[in-house]
Structures are given as structure tokens and as C-alpha cells.
Homo-oligomer: A and B are copies of this chain.
């Protein structure tokens, strides 16, 4: 029916659509996406297809789904952003980044009881880490290297 050949399967299209929405800020960093059933119905695809799209983005480090909790945004962009960023990075900026990372991660892990001044975004972090976190701590890159 469609004259143009769509070589990308529906799951890949769904993944790219989700990535676009994430970039647009529809779901902030660390926020939870709607449930799979509702999201699949909203996108007009089946749950299996949506799951494959989520898995594809999870493999790229953008999403992270946990059983019983939901799907969370762990990054706003793919790894390609890293190599463009890393290419401009010098060792000196690493030291500065270390301070930023330490402060940011500490603020996130300390149950956000006292929001630090340096914390830019106050995105809610769902895991809350109250239970014994058998799950590895996932760190959200809310910082960035600034070219000098």
C-alpha cells in the first residue's frame, strides 16, 4: 500500500518516536513512563511491539525498566552524544566534572532531604533507595562538560 519502502520495523519506529518524545521533555529525566498497556494503546501498537522498542532504548541506555515499578528515563540522548562530548574534553575538565558528579550523586542518594544549591534540576528519582537496593545504582547524567 505504501509506495515508499519502510525497511524499519514497527518496533524501531516506536523506539524512535519514544526517543523523540523524551528529547522533547515529555518525560523528564528520572521520571516514569506510562504503563506498557496504556502507552501501547496510546501509540496504537501492541504491548509486545512496545516492549521491543523499550528494550531497544534500554540497550542504548536511555530507558530502564524494572519489574513491578515501571519504565524510567535514564538519559536524554544516546551514546553518540558521549563521543561528541568526550572529544572536547580535557583532563582539567574531568577534575571539575568530578566535583559536579560527586555533588549531584550525593544529592540524589541522600533522599533529597536537603536540595543543594548546585543541583540544577529537581527531577523526582523514583527508586527512593529506601529498601535494600539490590539493584545497581543508576546514575543520571544531569551534568555536562562545558567547552572552555
Contacts and interface: CB of A to CB of B under 8 A. Distances in A.
B118 A115 contact: no
B7 A135 contact: yes
Contacts of A65: 9
A147 B139 CA distance: 25
A119 interface: yes
B113 A116 contact: no
Interface string A43-66: 000001001110111111000010
20 contacts: A7-B135, A7-B136, A60-B60, A87-B88, A91-B145, A91-B148, A93-B94, A97-B98, A102-B116, A102-B137, A103-B137, A105-B105, A106-B115, A106-B137, A107-B119, A110-B113, A110-B114, A114-B115, A116-B118, A116-B119
